[in-house]
Amino acid sequence: MRNSAVRLALCLLALAGMTAIASAQVVLPKSIRIVVPFSPGGSNDVIARAIAGPLAKRLDIPVIVENKAGAAGVIGADYVAKSPRDGSVLLLTSSSFLTAAATQTQLPYDPIAAFAPVAMVGRGPMLLVVSATTPFRTPADVIAAAREKPGALNYGTAGVGSIAHLTTELLDDTAKIRMTHVPYKGAANAAVDLAAGQIQVMVSNYSTLAPLMRAGKIKALAVTSGTPHAAFPDLPPLASVAPGFAVAIWVGVFAPAGTPPALVERQVQCKHVHHRFADDPEPPFLRVLRDQRADVGIIDPA
């Protein structure tokens, strides 16, 4: 089965074929900006940049990735919600889009009415990681340390209300421990501090963490899925130390509400694109995704 990050890339590339079919109704914008509401280096950013080049070539217009980080994705989402409704601005975001709506009482936009869905990547687990400066070798080590000294372990996230924030709070609740939240503008920023030992624990996606994992500066101890995951065969699920714990994340693309339906009708996009790439199962931009492992853990189609 094609992984769903690939589906997202192909569905976006299919805008070219779709707009050709609907050219009488839709005029392509002069350029497209893919807004990522988190800092550079995170998984959303990696996926957006892997898509931008091929999309620009397919549509023959500039496609720019623009990072507008802060407030667990709210700043970037608000920017897109108030952008022109002509297909020139897209939002590539993740589960934090919904968790922010659930936890922040005064959003500057309506999360349901202000956006039109374009494509869903899919879902997959995150990783529990620790700084290499810590003595922790298993998730049980983290739980034991947090129980011994409540509040002493600091964990970083992309901000209050982000999916990593709520996931770690759920871990606290499920395992009956208490760690201290340290919010950042983006997960990549938190990962840098984790590697430096400024914080001890973090829950995030593989793409954000991979460079520091490869450098040996942080260690992955578990996956957030309820059962072992094929992409990470050596990592136990957090449910092994916190029974009942299970969290998956998703990544998706949205446009401002009111964007012409032909530009966001994802079923038409996907229907045509599978045939277009049938003779090239791994074009160059997909190899970029595989090298980054940005699609790791994303298994099911939306």
Q: Sketch the domain layout of the chain as residue ranges.
A: 4-124+250-292, 127-240
Give yes or no on whether 4-124+250-292 and 127-240 have one common fold.
yes
Architecture label for domain 4-124+250-292: 3-Layer(aba) Sandwich (3.40)
- Alpha helix positions (H), 107-159: 139-148
- For residues 84 and 256, the answer to whether their CB atoms sit within 8 Å is yes
For the whole model, what pTM was predicted?
0.69
Question: What does the pLDDT look like over 31-63, one tens digit per residue?
Answer: 999 999 988 887 788 888 887 887 788 778 899
Mean pLDDT of 88-115: 90
Tokens coding 220: 């992955």
pLDDT at 281: 54
Which position has the higher pLDDT, 247 or 2? 247
Q: What token pair was written down for 126?
A: 């995150």
CATH 3.40.190.10 for the 127-240 domain, yes or no: yes
> 181: which residues sit within 8 A by CB, 6+ positions away?
154, 155, 157, 160, 165, 168, 169
